[in-house]
Structure 1
Amino acid sequence: MRAALDIFLGIGDLHFCSAPARIRTLLGSCVSITLWHPARKLGGMCHFMLPARNRRPEEPLDGRYGDEAMALFDREIARHGTRPADYCAKVFGGGNMFPTRPRPTPALDVGQRNILSAHSLLAERGIRIVAEHLGGDGHRKLVFDVGSGDAWIAFQDLGAQQQRRQ
């Protein structure tokens, strides 16, 4: 048996592979989507910071944007001869990193806009969400195991820290 890959994703990164592999990242207002094909032990994770941008057709896809990260996932799904509906998804992130500041208006709340984008992008493709840990005041460490489809998070609640200081 080959050793498991250990991959760290930065903002805008996406990794898609077969088991054994673990993919890790750190999230604030960014969102990560994990996709897992249970029968083939195949999947991946993205880490996007904004829902979308005004992309010109000649520009390459950029994983920093949710719609483009999903387009990159679409390519990987097709490359592996599978269908989107064959996968299950888990969604994480969208936290508020500044709990001491007044809440932004919905149009400026990047975390909430990222969450809505992830839900919409997955629904458009018929990909079922089986777990999520979203929002809140804080950041997350995330690990996704491609072999089992399991995901582990450690959530640092910045809101609770602020309340203890008062």
Structure 2
Amino acid sequence: MHNSDGVIEVLLQPGDLYFGDRRTRIRTLLGSCVSLVLWHRGERIGGMCHYMLPSRRHPGSRLDGRYADEALHLLLEKIRASGSQPQDYRISLFGGGNMFGELCQRNIGQSNVRAGLELLAAHGLKCHERHAGGDGYRNLIFDVWSGHIALRCPTSQQIATRRYEAPTP
């Protein structure tokens, strides 16, 4: 959806991802899910995914953004299609909150964070910033034109904003 300034506003639901240019703002709401945010300072392009689980037990015929490994693969395809290289991006990881407390013996948020970090490392990519784990949900807004990420964690009464700088070559 375009707003009056010509900015495309994208709301990611679980399993979605989006890669856009300097006219893009991407938003999402995370609980135990995780978002990887990738930003190229020089080109003012970037993307975000919102995955729900580390991987699926039985791979399908099409890649599915609900799973960490497949979501990262899809984002890497978008990066290569743009003519840029993944190592030139500032990468951040957000989410992975424990939404079920002691009701669930398995902390899926923790598993999602671990999967994201391991996948980045397996692709030779560095996570430059992360805000993950804990309890509750996070609101995340990423302005591709500036690399600015606003993060709100209502359960901790914490608001964090960060303007990302380009990775050093």
TM-score relative to the length of structure 2: 0.84
Q: TM-score, normalised by structure 1?
A: 0.86
TM superposition outliers: structure 1 runs of 4+ over 6 Å: none
- Structure-2 separation of matches of 1:126 and 1:20: 29
- The yes-or-no answer on 1:76 pairing with 2:78 is yes
Measured in 2, the distance between the counterparts of 1:155 and 1:54 equals: 32
- The sequence identity of aligned pairs, in percent, is 45
Residue aligned with 1:12, SS: coil
Matched position secondary structure for 1:154: strand
Aligned partner letter, 2:92: K
Paired residue for 1:95, among 90, 97, 120?
Answer: 97
| Alignment partner, residue 153 of structure 2 | 155
Q: Runs of 5+ in structure 2 lacking a partner? A: 157-169
Match of 2:135 in 1: 137
- Matches of 1:151 and 1:141 in 2, distance apart? 10
- In structure 1, the partner of 2:164 is none
The residue correspondences of 1:1-166 to structure 2 (distance < 5 A) are 3-56=6-59, 59-99=61-101, 101=102, 104=105, 108-157=106-155
Which residues of structure 1 form unaligned runs of 5+?
159-166
Over aligned residues, Cα RMSD in angstroms? 1.6
C-alpha separation in 2, matches of 1:64 and 1:102: 23
Task: Report which stretch shifted further, 65-74 or 47-56.
Answer: 47-56
Count of aligned positions: 152
Whole-angstrom CA distance in 2 between matches of 1:157 and 1:31: 17
CA distance in 2, matches of 1:102, 1:70: 30
Looking at structure 2, the residues matched to 96 and 88 of structure 1 have their Cα atoms a distance apart, in angstroms, of 26
For residue 103 of structure 1, report the CA deviation from its aligned partner: 6.2
Cα-to-partner distance string for 1:117-146 (whole Å, 9 max, x where unaligned): 111111222322221110111101100111
Q: Deviations over 1:4-55 (max 9, x none)?
A: 1110000000000111211000000000000011110010000000000134
Whole-angstrom distance in 2 between the partners of 1:78 and 1:112? 29
